[in-house]
Amino acid sequence: MREALHRCQDFRPSALRSVLSPASRFICSTLTFFLLLACGCRPGGGEDRPNLLLISIDTLRADRLGCYGYPRDTSPHIDGLAAGGVVFNRAFSASCKTTPSHMTILTGLFPRVHNVYMWKQGPQGTFRGDTLSENVPTLAEILQDYGYANVAFTGGANVAGRMGFSRGFEIYDEAGDTAAACRWLEENSGKKFFLFYHTYYTHDPYLPPPPYDTRYDPGYAGDIPSRREMMEKTGVREGEKWHGIWQVMHEMFWAEVDLDDPADRRHLSALYDGAIGYVDNELIRSLLESLEKAGTLDDTLIVLTSDHGEEFLEHGRLEHNSLYREVARVPLIMRLPGKFPAGLRIEELVRTVDILPTILDVLEIPAETFVQGVSLRPLTEGKRGLELTAYADFDDYLPPVIESLRSGPWFLLLDQRLVRESRGEDGVLSFVSLYNTRNDPEETADVSARHPEVTKKLLNRLRALRLENSRLRAEEAPNQLKGEMDVKNVERLKALGYF
């Protein structure tokens, strides 16, 4: 039976997807059903399986949350969630950009394999790019086969449904409507559900509503405009959708920031914290209260994470255009009473590519498709020794190409913007740097010259992984189609400063 179960878990419908037409998917599903049944696996939605709430707070860096040691009270509800579950202290994203990061979370594949990056503006002014290959199943599609009702409430734009994000969802709402998500939770308590919730409220420009706009810097008297001032200038009223004018707000906001002024730098950080406070106290609180009203809070696996963090000049940059710690490290919290011990903290390095296989493991759903991540459940049961390697890349706006590898205490960074003359005798230009994060947690001291053997070893590992990703991309995601963004999502991209 164990061997049969192993074969069952190794069975990959994605292999059938690559040779079957969409019209033949029914045959694939039927074959999967009987194979699973023969192996003793349950293809239906077992009543004992928990629900799933996957929360992604866009642009949320881990170290701005109380449960990760931040002194400001930005996140009481997220902290409460953490106190009742597992906190992964060293979780790293696969990219510093929204689209590839989220697709990694929902497929368990690194960006170079699923190959869904930020869409670019074409010659006709439209946004076009690769959509997810039909051969790659998403988390929603997997859970759909097990009887889950799948719904998503997102901010759209860089997680637009037509990129492949909407596959497997009965509802894919791109209006950023938290109230709609809460209503759905309260009105569908009898269903076995997967709800994906995503919000951009912590993305720049940082415009939290009162009282969060002044909570952490009440005495600021500079020129950075408040939410009220921005609305007065644009004529927008509170509660109205801002799609289509956010680009104007983005430019107006940053035009008034004086980075040479310490008061402006402090205020930027305070506004970001205020946005986190708003999301925590208003949005996350509402979601958790809706679960509680529906009586499903303790029957729901809650996973909270982010696609990437945010920079505040730690390495001379703003927003999220690097792979340093302030951008790559993200929160990862999981709560499910009876499965995860309350208050557990995991110190081992983990990745967002591990989220999908961990969810499947906790839901006791066999892995029927190829993934690059691994289940983190053994870590929550006191086991050690995964010794994972975190790979990330930034390949959206060429040049440059940026890649990184994290292994143990080491952080290897390849950044073509940081070209310097090599210290070697050949005098060639180099853009490779190495950091020992145990001794240098802020990642400021390049020690590649002092540890050439470590640098060489990690470079070889990165090159091997790059080749492996290219091979897997050809096998798992061939024949990708080009897609074009609809008008509404173009407006959302404008809102976020990408247009």
pTM above 0.75, yes or no: yes
Report the mean per-residue pLDDT for the chain.
84
CA atoms within a 13 Å half-sphere pointing along the CA-CB vector of 33:
12
pLDDT given at position 9: 35
- Give the whole-angstrom CA distance, residue 99 versus residue 132: 11
**Residue where the block lists tokens 């925590």:** 280
| Domain range list for the chain | 44-389
- Indicate whether 100 pLDDT > 90: yes
When comparing pLDDT for 489 and 392, which is higher? 392
Q: Work out the average pLDDT over 8-24.
A: 39
pLDDT given at position 6: 34
221-233: string of b/e by CB count within 10 Å (b at 16+)? eeebbbbebbbee
**DSSP letters spanning 168-198:** T-SEEE-S--HHHHHHHHHH-TTS-EEEEEE
pLDDT given at position 23: 41
Q: Work out the average pLDDT over 132-144.
A: 94
- Give the whole-angstrom CA distance, residue 376 versus residue 100: 21
- Indicate whether 53 pLDDT > 70: yes
Residue-wise pLDDT tens digits, 24-36: 443 444 444 444 4
Residue-wise pLDDT tens digits, 438-478: 999 999 999 999 999 999 999 999 999 988 988 888 876 66
- Indicate whether 74 pLDDT > 90: yes
Residues whose CB is less than 8 angstroms from the CB of residue 179 and which lie 6 or more positions away in sequence, other chains included = 286
151-160, 254-263, 413-422: segment of lowest average pLDDT: 413-422
Banded model confidence at residue 10, pLDDT cuts 50, 70, 90: very low
44-389 topology per CATH: Alkaline Phosphatase, subunit A (3.40.720)
pLDDT given at position 347: 95
- Give the whole-angstrom CA distance, residue 50 versus residue 336: 8
- Indicate whether 176 pLDDT > 70: yes
pLDDT given at position 241: 54
Q: Count CB atoms within 10 A of the CB of residue 90.
A: 18
CB-CB contact of 406 with 349 (8 Å): yes
- Give the whole-angstrom CA distance, residue 96 versus residue 394: 6
Tell me the three state secondary structure of residue 166: coil
Residue 43 tokens read as: 């293809």
Residues whose CB is less than 8 angstroms from the CB of residue 377 and which lie 6 or more positions away in sequence, other chains included = 358, 361, 362
Banded model confidence at residue 493, pLDDT cuts 50, 70, 90: low
Q: What angle do CA 305, 95, 97 make, to 5 degrees?
A: 85
pLDDT given at position 48: 87
Above pLDDT 90, what percent of the chain? 61
23-36: string of b/e by CB count within 10 Å (b at 16+)? eeeeebeeebeebb
Ramachandran sector of residue 326 (left: φ over 0; alpha: ψ -120 to 50; beta: rest):
alpha
Residue-wise pLDDT tens digits, 360-373: 999 999 987 889 99
- Identify the burial level of 466 via C-beta atoms within 10 angstroms of its C-beta, where 0-12 means exposed, 13-18 middle and 19 or more buried: middle
Could you give the C-alpha distances from 384 to 338, 350, 364, 434, in angstroms and in order?
Answer: 21, 12, 21, 26
Q: Work out the average pLDDT over 393-419.
A: 81
pLDDT given at position 386: 86
Taking the CA atoms of 437, 438, 444 and 445 in sequence, report the sign of the dihedral they define: negative
Residue-wise pLDDT tens digits, 294-312: 999 999 999 999 999 999 9
Most distant pair of Cα atoms in the chain: their distance:
71
- Indicate whether 216 pLDDT > 70: yes
Q: Work out the average pLDDT over 122-151.
A: 85
Taking the CA atoms of 276, 278, 281 and 282 in sequence, report the sign of the dihedral they define: negative
